[in-house]
A = this chain, B = another copy of it.
Amino acid sequence: MLIAVDAAGGENAPREIVKGAIKAAQENDIDIALVGNKAVLHVLAGREIKKLNLQIFEATEIIAPNEHPMRAVKSKPNSSIVIGTNLVRDGIASAFVSAGNTGAVVCAALLNLGKIEGIERPALGGFLDITPATPTLLIDAGANAECRPSHLAQFAQLGSTYVKHLLDIDSPRVRLLSTGEEETKGNRLAQESYSLLKKSRLNFIGNIEGQDIAKATADVIVTDGFTGNIVLKTIEGMGDTFLRAARQVGYVVATAYHLRGRALLQEIGLGSWAKKADYREYGGACLLGVNGTIIVSHGRSQAKAIKNAIGLAKQTVERDICRIIREGNYEPTDSSN
């Protein structure tokens, strides 16, 4: 299985991307194609290119994080994002992983891979791995800032299918993110989405409020891409804040008891907890509803996140998620919306 990796996207590109890709290739039975500046990639990957049989695809253009997605994709055919999605379209790569401009990745996927028939809007499904229990999928994590109720109903369907087949959860519990448990709570979008979800065949078990997101009471949390993106990032930010605090505590205790910090953190079990709170664990979000496997990684991703995003891509391909979604029945739930 060949997985294409955007070596030019994200704040820590290309160094951390290359490091993560090499680790993924070492640990998994996969081939990697790096897309970026050939000369630079040769320097960074060095001897690993031969050893791991890394492929390198030249991308002479770069799409910046603040560029207008659609304009950038259309005007830069030689960017790593466009080349990466084309590798998937042409069947050369099984998946594409990018930590670049999210909007541009979504646009490139829409243009080059196309939507799966019946899907109104592909959406990003990202895992909230904040508790030791089963992970929760948040959808849409940021592909669609403006949504209609019928979109949210489809996001729920996409998310439910993904979780079911990726994690072997028989009947995923779907909840709608809102400001109260009752059907009448929330904005108009939430209220109208609730009534669509209630009528659906999904295992919809009602609304979920912010304070319960971390409690693993849902397998899929549905929301619009604006709210979803903000919530996902808020959780990451809180994780960072507490991680810093936990590290401080670790050092203070270590000093007080003449222990090495890491040994102590491990001894008291804080290590694995801190790991849980670290968003670098998640790796990335899957763009569900397009004809191909696309994983969008956090712009601040370091090697570990990239390695995990590649792992998620591999799993998504192995579980044949794209085909399963294509075989689903995705008629719009309510054409009036």
Q: Show the binding face of A for B, using Cβ within 8 Å.
A: 66, 68, 130-131, 142, 145-146, 177-182, 184, 186-188, 190, 209-215, 224-227, 229-242, 245-246, 248-249, 252-253, 256-257, 267-270, 273, 277
Chain B residues, CB < 8 A from A131? 241
Quick one: which of B190, B215, B231 contacts A231, CB cutoff 8 A?
A: B231
Selected contact of A233 from candidates B66, B210, B245, B277, CB within 8 Å: B210
Nearest CB in chain B: distance from A109 CB, A: 18
Number of copies: 2
Q: Is the CB of A184 within 8 A of B68?
A: yes
Q: Known contacts A188-B146, A249-B268, A252-B268; decide if A234 and B233 are in contact (CB<8 Å).
A: no
| A210 contacts B226, C-beta separation under 8 Å | no
Residue of B whose beta carbon sits closest to that of A264:
B253
CB nearest to A146 among chain B residues: B187
Contacts of A239 in B (CB 8 A): 238
User: Of A211, A233, A252, A273, which is in contact with the most chain B CB atoms at under 10 Å from its CB?
Assistant: A211
A53 to B187, CA, bound (A): 43
User: How many angstroms between the C-alpha atoms of A249 and B187 in the bound complex?
Assistant: 39
List 14 A–B pairs whose Cβ atoms lie within 8 Å, in order of A's numbering: A66-B180, A179-B230, A179-B233, A187-B224, A209-B230, A210-B233, A210-B234, A234-B234, A234-B235, A238-B238, A238-B239, A249-B269, A252-B268, A256-B268
